[in-house]
Amino acid sequence: MFTTSRSYLCGLVAVAFMVFCTGAASANWFTLKNDTGKPIVVQETVIVNGQVRRGKPTTLLAGETLREFIPGPTVKRVEVFDSQAPNQPAWSGNLSCKEENQTFSVTTVAGKLSVGQIVQPAKK
C-alpha cells in the first residue's frame, strides 16, 4: 500500500512540475515561408573541416513553410534555388537565428529572389 501511494504522489508531483514549468521553456523556432508564388528548393549548407557540406534539399510549393527547432542562437547558411533552374542558387546568404521564434520570407523583388525577416508583433 505504501509503494502505491508513493508512486501516485511521484506522478502527481511530475504532472504539477510539467504544468507550472512549461512557460519557462524557450521556443526557438526558425520558419522559412515561400511567398514567391512558385516552387522553390531550400538547402542548408555547413562547413565541416574546411569543406562545404550540403543538407537535404527541401521543396516548398507556393505558400508552404519550412519549420525547424533551433536549440540555441546560431547563424544558418541557406541557399534557395528556383525549381526551374536547380543547379544555380537564386539566393544564398546567412540568416541570424536568435533565441526566439523567427520567421523569414522568400519573395521575388525585381525578378530576383530575396529573403527577409518578418517582424513579429511584440507580446503583451
User: Can you give the CATH number for the domain in which 41 is found?
Assistant: 2.60.40.2890
Checking if the pLDDT of 17 tops 70, the result is: no
**Mean pLDDT across the chain:** 83
Q: Compute the Cα dihedral for 103, 104, 105, 109 and give only its sign.
A: positive
> Residue 14: inside a domain, yes or no?
no
> Residue 11: inside a domain, yes or no?
no
Q: Tell me which residue range forms the domain holding 42.
A: 26-118
Stretch among 8-17, 55-64, 104-113 having the lowest mean pLDDT:
8-17
> Residue 110: inside a domain, yes or no?
yes
- 44-63, pLDDT tens digit by residue? 998 889 998 999 999 999 99
Any residues with CB less than 8 A from the CB of 98 and at least 6 apart, and which?
Answer: 28, 73
